[in-house]
A = this chain, B = another copy of it.
Amino acid sequence: MVTLKDIAARAGVSMMTVSRVMNGNQGGKASEATAVKIRSIAEEMGYVPNSSARSLAARSSKIIAVVLRDSTDGNPLADPYSSMFLGIIIQTMQRRGYYVMVHFVQDYSDITFWLRSWRAEGAIFLGVFDNEIRNIRNSNRIPLVFTDSYSNVRQVSNVGIDDYKGGVLAAQHFLSRGHTRLAFAGPPSETTGVIAERLAGFSEALAQAGVPLPENWIYNTSRQSPAEILADITSCDEHPTGLFVTSDLIASQFYEAALQTGVEIPDQLSLIGFDDFPLDRILTPTLTSVHQDVSEKASRACDILLRRIADPNAPSESLMLDVHLVERDSVRDI
């Protein structure tokens, strides 16, 4: 393995001079003549800097950590939302000269151990960490960027979207098409958080129009399968005519269940999803959905993180991106 020392010997200079040149020769601290010579020797000898040594000496690693919640029931990257997001992060960070390590986490204490062990320079969290966010923040001084968080911890940066508005848009669309009996389905929600916001926006917009959203029409997709929920919905006489689902991924499971159980979308049940994935355009019927811009979200998260890495005194920034409704064919007129 070729080291700085080897190059220094060949060039007849000190290791320090080589080190400076290999690090871009900031401000021409070395003469251009020696720099050129050193670069050509390094090239010729196939020099590759040792990142571990660099990290150890410089106390900085060029490593960006991406943390996803490990889903016990399978693959955290099975969700297109997460994988798209991760893809953009890797692309962006790589272009800026960083290395990306990915970690699936079950317990938040894992994270701290891992971040410290590698001296990660910053971390981006995908998925909801609202309950752990304070602990994570307190045990890690590096810049952290969360996504979709509704935590009240203000010392971390967050990139999210207007989930409440998403719920409102879904409600308004159903109402505008004449629906007055509506249901909601999503993972269980705490009092705050992405799902709670979408639900709040949805139910409050309905309430404003005098349309109630009964408790028993708020379905928990962790407890009941889409097929069970469909059975439940269609069993009652005056059943809901529209269902707002908190993600396109789950919405697509409803399509599958509808196919199996013979429920007609949108005739028996209209559907609105959330995310606006490419998938929506090939479903039959095409899925009306609340659009969020994952790429934008990902690159904003990277920008904020990089800014805070570059300037340790930079304030934490949070950002809420807009959403809009994309009308397709899964909502019928009543």
On A, residues with C-beta under 8 Å from B are: 1, 48-53, 55-56, 61, 70, 75-78, 80, 83-84, 86-88, 90-91, 94, 99-104, 112-114, 116-119, 252, 255-256, 259, 279, 281-284, 286, 295
Closest to A83 in B: B83
Q: Smallest CB–CB gap between A289 and chain B, Å? A: 15
Q: Smallest CB–CB gap between A239 and chain B, Å? A: 23
Question: What B residues does A99 contact at CB under 8 A?
Answer: 101, 103, 114, 118
Tell whether, in the assembled complex, residue B52 and residue A56 are in contact, meaning their CB atoms are under 8 Å apart.
Answer: yes
Once the chains are docked, how many angstroms separate the CA of A48 from the CA of B140?
13
Q: Smallest CB–CB gap between A66 and chain B, Å? A: 9
Once the chains are docked, how many angstroms separate the CA of A133 from the CA of B118?
30
Q: Which of B84, B113, B118 makes the CB contact (< 8 A) with A75? A: B84
Number of copies of chain A assembled together:
2
Once the chains are docked, how many angstroms separate the CA of A99 from the CA of B286?
40
Given A52-B52, A99-B118, list of 6 further CB < 8 A pairs?
A50-B117, A76-B91, A83-B83, A90-B103, A94-B103, A100-B101
Question: What B residues does A87 contact at CB under 8 A?
Answer: 75-78, 83
Once the chains are docked, how many angstroms separate the CA of A259 from the CA of B116?
52
Q: Smallest CB–CB gap between A49 and chain B, Å? A: 6
Once the chains are docked, how many angstroms separate the CA of A101 from the CA of B118?
12
Q: Smallest CB–CB gap between A272 and chain B, Å? A: 17
Once the chains are docked, how many angstroms separate the CA of A112 from the CA of B255?
46
